[in-house]
Amino acid sequence: MLTQSARRRLARLGVAGALVAASAVATPAAAEPASDGVLVHANDALIAVGGVQRYVGLFAAADGLPEVLTVTVERSAVTGFATVVPAEDTTGCTATGTVLSCATTATRLENDGLLLAVTAKGTAEPGDKGDLVFDLRQKDGPSVVTTRATVEVGAGVDLRAQDLWRTTAAPGETVRTPFGVANVGDTTVRETVLLLSTVPAPARRHGNCSYRELSGDQLTVCRFADEIPPGAAVQLDDSAGLRVAADSWAPSTQFGWALWFTPDDYEEFTASLPTDGWQRGAGRDLELVPATDTLARSLRQTDRTPWDNSTRVRIDVTGDQRADVAATGAHLPGAVGATVTARIGYVNNGPAMINTSGPGGIETRARVVVPDGVTVLTAPEQCAPGTGETPTGTHGEPGGRIYFCEWHEVTHKGDAVVLPFDLRVDELGGAPGAVQLRHYEVAEGERVADLNPKNDSAPLVIRAAGGNGGGDGGSLPITGGSTGLVAGIGGLLLAAGVGGYVLARRRSTRFVA
């Protein structure tokens, strides 16, 4: 079960993720582009009498905004049924009547946002509804952009799921997943939505579920039209299961989440998610057992205590299966003044996949030493310059002598990670460079060895044109089935909570000598 503080952090990251997603698609579903091109978003909040605090987060892309800002929040439309105050770690706000005035910066709005805590008053009635109006303006200046967030009171229900579901499986094995949920409130739950975020893929694709794979994470959304009366508990039928990938690192641990929503809470959740890339299952519907008939209601429902309706999924992968990751350098012909492209990186020789999120496996990073006598004109977005064993610059920054490169995509046997560097030849005959791999255990971040440490380093050499050397930009064998060949895609999201929480899957770079 996620703690309330963890959920709040995820809420903040979720809205930021919506901005990222909106900027990457043609028609943003959540963020609002103003007439002057400013991208701004504030999520809606569905609350219940007696329920927990919900959070409205205001985020904005810094481009097009003055750095020093004042944000005013007009609360008059909601003060009759809800309390809206700055969250405990939101600073710089003062209240005058129904208006909050918050001093902030464009950088803060983009990175941390402005978070407000929203609670239903005891006198609130289901169906009460109003908008918070956000006005962003330059300090002591005119308004730059406005946006709104809707606060609505729903009929409170209370779902609860088991805290942890754990099992063991070998690579390639399928395990049953009888994930369940109980109605521990006093109101019938009319419908439910189940969101699964797991490393193993679903064993079957059901007709009432939609599926999406992203950066090695398997996302599944299933809708159920069954009522759950007070005191009743239901679980997935026998057709539900997860299949551990045959190339899983073993032993290792693969984690996930099973999260239950009311449909209205889930709609609030999806307001911060991109909607493209999902595929509907073609098999029979996944069912809840026991099930009841559907009874339509017009009143929206929201979970009073969403902190306890999620199940942590843990599968301990048994066996002994690891991987050999080989560095790939380049021998390039060049002339003084010429620009050459070095396509370097590494190849996973298998048998296990790497760069997964579960403990026990490895993440592979590359330390690139630039040859003497050349200048880096362009560097990949996955690589940052630094010194020794520590990155100190920004990703994609040119001019470095040593680069530290990270890769966030799951890399299977035969997949090649390609890192293109454009190099200007200033002089020939200098000391060669190198591609040096570093492997880290996922959970602890400790330096570990792969199956064959002898091929963890490869030279990067610039020779005079016409001499010895390949000259094709590098000898990296690009495989047709690789999931690691799309530069810069990274992991966009890992669904990790209730009510619009999205965790952008970003791993920190770690280089240990």
pTM: predicted TM-score of the whole model, two decimal places: 0.67
Q: What is the predicted pLDDT for the residue at 192?
A: 95
Q: In 3-state terms, what secondary structure has residue 283?
A: strand
Contact (Cβ atoms closer than 8 angstroms) between residue 348 and residue 354: yes
- Indicate whether 1 pLDDT > 90: no
Rounded CA-CA distance 358/134 in Å is 40
* CATH of the structural domain 31-153, one choice from 3.40.640.10, 2.60.40.680, 2.40.10.10, 2.60.120.10: 2.60.40.680
Rounded CA-CA distance 121/128 in Å is 11
Domain 322-464, CATH: 2.60.40.10
- Indicate whether 179 pLDDT > 60: yes
Q: Please name the amino acid found at residue 117.
A: A
Q: What is the pLDDT of residues 320-377, one digit of tens each?
A: 999 999 999 999 999 999 999 999 999 999 999 999 878 889 999 999 999 999 999 9
| Helices of type H across 192-283 | 263-270
Rounded CA-CA distance 93/104 in Å is 9
Determine which helix (DSSP H) or strand (DSSP E) holds 348, and give its type and residue range. strand 339-351
**Segments making up each domain of the chain, as ranges:** 31-153, 156-320+494-503, 322-464
Tokens in use for 169?
A: 């499986």
Q: What is the predicted pLDDT for the residue at 459?
A: 97
Picking from 310, 317, 72, 24, the residue whose alpha carbon sits closest to that of residue 172 is: 317
Q: What is the predicted pLDDT for the residue at 397?
A: 95
Please give the CATH architecture assigned to the domain spanning 156-320+494-503.
Sandwich (2.60)
- Indicate whether 482 pLDDT > 70: no
Q: What integer is the mean pLDDT of 167-182?
A: 94
- Confidence band for 285, pLDDT divided at 50, 70 and 90: very high
- Indicate whether 261 pLDDT > 60: yes
DSSP state of 284: P
Rounded CA-CA distance 142/135 in Å is 10
Give φ, ψ of 454 to 5 degrees.
Answer: -65, -25
Q: What is the pLDDT of residues 120-155, one digit of tens each?
A: 999 999 999 999 999 999 877 788 899 999 999 987
Q: What is the predicted pLDDT for the residue at 74?
A: 97
Rg (CA), the chain: 26
Q: What integer is the mean pLDDT of 372-387?
A: 96
Rounded CA-CA distance 225/321 in Å is 42
Domains 31-153 and 322-464 share a fold: yes
- Confidence band for 50, pLDDT divided at 50, 70 and 90: confident
- Indicate whether 254 pLDDT > 50: yes
Contact (Cβ atoms closer than 8 angstroms) between residue 191 and residue 212: no
- Indicate whether 485 pLDDT > 60: no
| Least confident range of 217-231, 288-302, 459-473 | 288-302
Give φ, ψ of 484 to 5 degrees.
Answer: -110, 20
Q: What is the predicted pLDDT for the residue at 503?
A: 27
Return the number of other C-beta atoms located less than 10 Å from residue 27's C-beta: 7
Q: What is the pLDDT of residues 183-218, one digit of tens each?
A: 888 889 999 999 999 999 999 999 999 999 876 789
Q: What is the predicted pLDDT for the residue at 37?
A: 60
Picking from 450, 269, 265, the residue whose alpha carbon sits closest to that of residue 363 is: 450
What is the 3 state secondary structure string of 404-446?
Answer: EECCCCCECCCCEEEEEEEEEECCCCCCCEEEEEEEEECCCCC
Give percent above pLDDT 90 in the chain. 59
Q: What is the predicted pLDDT for the residue at 61?
A: 85
Rounded CA-CA distance 301/227 in Å is 13
